[in-house]
Amino acid sequence: MTQTPSKWKSTFLMVAIDAAIEAERVREAKENAEAEIRATRDRFEALAEERGVLLREVNHRVGNGLQLIAALLRMQAQISSSPEVKAALATAETRVMAVADIHRRLYTSESVQSVNLRDYLNDLIVDLQSSLRAENLSPDFRLSAAPLFATPDYAAALGMIVTELVINAHKHAYPDGDGQVRIALSLNEADCAVLSVEDDGVGMNAKTTAQSTRLGRTLLEAMAHKLNGRLMYEAPTRGTCAKIVFALNFDASSRRDSSSLSSCDEDDKSVV
């Protein structure tokens, strides 16, 4: 039995109405989903902004705290009558200021995931030279660094090592005056980072060896351990060369696993 034209029209109308109702439901569902997405995004943006404010406040307070510690050490050194105490407090102040400077550079920068070590070390060396020139000294620091990348924590440890080694070389290698200190950062054939600090001074002797067993040596070894590396010394024809071989925990293309860290620690075993 065939349907009359009026029944065809009625059926078509019902189908059209159902389709329109379904389309409206889909539209409402889509709008609700988009509204929920926008609300969620806004909540995350607000949380991120709040986290950023809190992080900046924490970093500001940490920086102020380090500056205060350095000032207290400086005041204590000024009122001390012992040359040994003055020298020890001055060294401690230098280390605290180095930590403060590293913190300022790394944790107040825009990037919190990776640090260009060449740019970072260049700025650090410039600041070290400026600090020594303020004491009427004439440091000659030469930096050669590859554009390697690492996390801020790794960069902070590396900055502490460079500061300690450079200051030690400038202080102990040239007792009769200022001399050149060369800092290099590169990749070796095993794809491990190699940091070296070299001078042409008096070289290592019983006195400098005894001094290296104190806090400075402990600090260097602790920072090298943090890099999963090893502190080594070479004795060239002239002067001294301190070296640390370590694996970058982050570079521009990949992250390294624990096996690569171990292989770098084992690298250059011939260096003593």
pLDDT at site 2: 55
* pLDDT score at 208: 53
- Each residue's pLDDT tens digit, 78-94: 898 888 888 788 878 87
pTM for the whole thing?
A: 0.69
pLDDT value at 169 more than 70: yes
Spatial distance between the Cα atoms of 167 and 131, rounded to a whole number of angstroms: 11
What torsion do the CA atoms of 51, 57, 63, 66 make, to the nearest 10 degrees? -100
Range 113-272 has CATH code 1.10.3720.10 = no
Task: Look at residue 272 and give its three-state secondary structure.
Answer: coil
pLDDT, residue 89, reads 86
**Residue 232 CB partners (closer than 8 Å, separation 6+):** 242, 243, 244, 245, 268, 271, 272
The domain ranges of the chain are 1-108, 113-272
Specify whether the CB–CB gap between 194 and 242 falls below 8 A: no
Q: What confidence score (pLDDT) does residue 129 get?
A: 85
State the pLDDT at residue 26.
Answer: 83
CA distance 56 to 54: 5
Average pLDDT, the chain: 78
Q: Which of 235, 234, 232, 231 is nearest to 219 (CA)?
A: 231
Q: Is the confidence at residue 144, as pLDDT, over 90?
A: yes
Each residue of 181-196: pLDDT tens digit?
Answer: 999 999 888 888 999 9
Rounded Cα gap, residues 236 and 240, in angstroms = 6
Whole-number pLDDT of residue 251: 43
The reported pLDDT for the residue numbered 256 is 41
Position 253 confidence tier, pLDDT thresholds 50, 70, 90: very low
